[in-house]
């Protein structure tokens, strides 16, 4: 408040106003006026006039109190403008904005919320927020305190017509005259989810292309994989026939041969089933699995080629389970590609030392790492920066799509791939890093 001091006030109709106060005999009158001061500029003044009587007679004096309320008026105006802007923002927001009291009763329901839920605001005022069925992750929607300061949460809402939609939910708290109030912001993310699904399908299609190309390269290995159980079945059945022709009828011997043949038949069926999944899977299917199990499974696709190239494969798999939530086929495909690159590097380099190390480990940052190191010719730092570019390759007959697609798959799983010169000598070091399940 500014000090007015002895400055003179030139208030129009002041005498008339004070005369009216004097005639009221004891009444208190408040009125506001504006006045321009040379040093202070325009100020808002609140005049408080009260009559006084001397010696118990008629009121013949007026006590006039003057208060500078300029700053208060400005603050009140700012609050009104802020409230108006807030209301305008809420009314035009693309997100549903719902205010609730402490018992989760709906106090306001903006137009976006009406559009999202397909219900008029007038029908929702006074109803329970729990009736909107958000979220559906096991928490009770009426207990709003658990949602405070946790960021946006995913849930599902239910429209008036019964259809459900995915949504992001955010809750904040404010005080209104000593009463707790909550603002719930709801965003319909149907389109975002649809786009994410489309991206996953496209990534799945890219992965499918790489799988088919991989199967073509592994034709000899697959023939070898299937030949082993089929040959064992043929041998066991021939042994059974020979045994019977010789007039031998020991059930134990016959059952033993038949059991072994049956087990080999199941093994062949598992190989075919795995091959079918490896080739046909397009849409990612996430499930919990162990990284070390995937690494071991990936080596089976290349065991015959590794043996043929006289390469020694060193396995150093973490003894503890490394749980990740991934599409098993896609991650196995990435590991097969990294191993195949290592085999190709050793073959093309024609080196004396022919080793591949496959390691799995747990990192302190909550990730699982699969490392593939080889003793091939290695990769230059300049080439390493371009390895993920589509159609860039260091192989004479390569297409340059393998690592690009592998990187896409890794990023789909919130992971990453690195390829760089091996630190311990000539060769290449490739790393696949994935977040451990439950580490987020």
Domain shared by 86 and 106, yes or no: no
Please give the Cα distance from 290 to 191 (Å, whole number). 33
Q: Are 282 and 211 in contact (CB under 8 A)?
A: no
Judgement on whether residues 298 and 440 belong to the same structural domain of the protein: yes
**Backbone dihedral angles phi then psi of residue 49, each to the nearest 5 degrees:** -110, 135
pLDDT greater than 50 at residue 274: yes
Spatial separation of the C-alpha atoms in residues 194 and 158, rounded to whole Å: 18
Which pLDDT band holds residue 314 (cuts at 50, 70, 90)? Answer: very high
My answer on whether 103 and 169 are in the same domain is yes
Q: Can you tell me the distance from the alpha carbon of 360 to that of 434, in angstroms, rounded to the nearest whole number?
A: 11
Domain boundary among 283, 306, 322: 283
Are 17 and 84 contained in the same domain? yes
pLDDT digits (tens, 9 = 90+) for 85-109: 556 555 656 788 888 888 888 888 8
* Domain harbouring 47, CATH code: 3.30.450
Q: What is the mean pLDDT of residues 309-314?
A: 94
277 and 302 housed in the same domain = no
Q: What is the pLDDT of residue 1?
A: 37
Cis peptide before 135 (omega within 30 of 0): yes
Over residues 167-209, the pLDDT tens digits come to 888 888 888 778 888 888 888 888 888 877 777 777 667 666 6
Query: Most confidently modeled of 85-99, 107-121, 145-159?
Result: 107-121
Task: Note whether 77 and 30 are same-domain residues.
Answer: yes
Q: Do you know the residue count of the chain?
A: 440
HEC readout, 25-38 = CCCEEEEEEEEEEC
pLDDT at 21 over 90: no
Mean pLDDT of the chain: 76
Looking at the structure, tell me whether residues 180 and 54 fall in a common domain: no
Out of 73, 91, 109, a domain closes at 91
Which residues 6+ apart lie within 8 Å of 75 measured at CB?
Answer: none
Q: How many domains does the chain have?
A: 4
> Which structural domain, as residue segments, surrounds residue 117?
93-188
- 3-state SS, residue 2: coil
Q: What pLDDT does residue 398 have?
A: 42
What's the confidence (pLDDT) of residue 391? Answer: 41
Task: Say yes or no: 296 and 406 in one domain.
Answer: yes
Residues whose CB falls within 8 Å of the CB of residue 130, separated by 6 or more in sequence, listed in order: 104, 140, 141, 142
pLDDT per residue over 316-374, tens digit each?
Answer: 999 999 999 998 888 988 898 899 889 988 988 878 889 999 999 999 899 999 999 99
Domain CATH for 306? 3.30.565.10
pLDDT level of residue 76 (50, 70, 90 thresholds): low
Do both 141 and 211 map to the same domain?
no
Q: Is the pLDDT of residue 80 over 80?
A: no
- The CATH number for 134's domain is 3.30.450.20
Whether residues 253 and 295 fall in one domain? no
Burial class (CB in 10 A: 0-12, 13-18, 19+), 310: exposed
Last residue of a domain, one of 71, 91, 111: 91
148 near 132, Cβ under 8 Å?
no
Do 350 and 392 lie in one domain? The reply is: yes
**Nearest by Cα to 152 from 128, 115, 186:** 186
Residues 28 and 107 in one domain: no
């Amino acid at each position: 408040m500014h000090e007015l001091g002895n400055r003179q006030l030139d208030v129009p109709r002041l005498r008339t106003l004070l005369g009216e106060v004097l005639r009221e005999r004891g009444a208190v009158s408040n009125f506001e006026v504006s006045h321009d001061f040379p040093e202070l500029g325009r100020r808002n003044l609140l005049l408080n006039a009260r009559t006084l009587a001397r010696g118990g007679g008629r009121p013949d004096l007026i006590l006039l109190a003057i208060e500078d309320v300029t700053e208060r008026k400005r603050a009140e105006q700012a609050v009104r403008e802020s409230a108006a802007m807030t209301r305008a923002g809420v009314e035009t927001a693309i997100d549903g904005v719902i205010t609730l009291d402490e018992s989760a009763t709906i106090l306001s329901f903006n137009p976006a919320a009406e559009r999202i839920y397909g219900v008029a605001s007038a029908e929702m005022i006074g109803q329970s927020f729990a009736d909107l069925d958000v979220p559906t992750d096991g928490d009770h929607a009426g207990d709003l305190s658990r949602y405070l300061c946790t960021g946006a949460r995913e849930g599902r809402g239910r429209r008036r017509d019964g259809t459900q939609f995915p949504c992001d939910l955010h809750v904040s708290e404010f005080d209104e005259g000593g009463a707790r109030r909550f603002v719930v912001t709801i965003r319909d993310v149907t389109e975002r989810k649809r786009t994410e699904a489309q991206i996953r399908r496209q990534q799945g299609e890219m992965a499918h292309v790489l799988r088919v190309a991989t199967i073509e390269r592994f034709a000899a290995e697959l023939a070898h994989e299937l030949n082993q159980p089929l040959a064992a079945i043929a041998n066991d059945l021939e042994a059974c026939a020979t045994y019977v022709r010789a007039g031998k009828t020991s059930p134990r011997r016959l059952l033993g041969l038949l059991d072994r043949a049956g087990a080999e038949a199941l093994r062949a069926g598992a190989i075919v089933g795995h091959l079918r999944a490896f080739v046909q899977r397009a849409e990612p299917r996430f499930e919990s699995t162990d990284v070390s199990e995937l690494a071991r499974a990936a080596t089976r696709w290349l065991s015959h080629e590794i043996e043929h190239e006289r390469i020694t494969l060193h396995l150093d798999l973490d003894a503890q389970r490394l749980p990740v939530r991934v599409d098993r086929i896609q991650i196995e495909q990435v590991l097969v590609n990294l191993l195949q690159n290592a085999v190709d590097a050793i073959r093309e380099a024609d080196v004396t030392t022919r080793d591949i190390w496959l390691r799995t480990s747990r990192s302190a940052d909550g990730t699982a790492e699969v490392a593939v190191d080889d003793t091939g010719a290695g990769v230059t730092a300049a080439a390493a920066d371009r390895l993920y570019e589509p159609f860039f390759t260091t192989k004479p007959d390569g297409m340059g799509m393998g690592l690009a697609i592998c990187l896409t798959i890794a990023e789909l799983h919130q992971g990453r791939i690195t390829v760089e010169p091996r630190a311990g000598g000539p060769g290449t070091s490739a790393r696949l890093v994935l977040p451990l399940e439950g580490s987020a």
